[in-house]
């Protein structure tokens, strides 16, 4: 029976998006690909463990990163959709009320 080790997070780094955030993919012939998240004064660079070769584990990590980024985008879009739908619905109801008042007058 294998014993599981409990790993607890000791810290969290939160990078909030804003107007200046950019994502860049860098490819150089002599290095492995890199994904850079540019937050202005802070850069986060994601690359493989070795700069000169890629392993199967690197490919698996890149695919997992893509899946999680896609799920993150879907969550953001879903929340945005609910927010704009709620605003639109509220605005539409106000317009309908105004039309009903004009018709009654």
pLDDT in tens, 45-88: 888 877 778 899 999 999 999 999 999 999 999 999 888 766 55
pLDDT in tens, 21-35: 888 888 777 788 888
Parse the chain into domains and list their residue ranges. 1-50, 55-105
pTM for the full model?
0.60
Beta bridge partners of 34: 26, 47
Q: CA-CA distance, 39 to 13, in Å (whole number)?
A: 13
Q: CA-CA distance, 60 to 39, in Å (whole number)?
A: 26
């Amino acid at each position: 029976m294998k014993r599981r080790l409990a790993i607890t997070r000791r810290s969290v780094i939160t990078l909030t998006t804003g107007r200046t955030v950019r994502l860049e993919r860098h490819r150089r012939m002599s290095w492995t690909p890199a994904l850079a998240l540019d937050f202005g004064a802070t850069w986060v660079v994601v690359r493989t463990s070795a700069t000169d070769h890629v392993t199967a584990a690197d490919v698996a990590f890149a695919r997992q990163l893509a899946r999680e980024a896609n799920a993150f985008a879907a969550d953001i879009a879903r929340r945005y959709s609910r927010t704009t739908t709620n605003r639109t619905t509220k605005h539409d109801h106000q317009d309908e009320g105004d039309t009903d008042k004009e018709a009654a007058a």
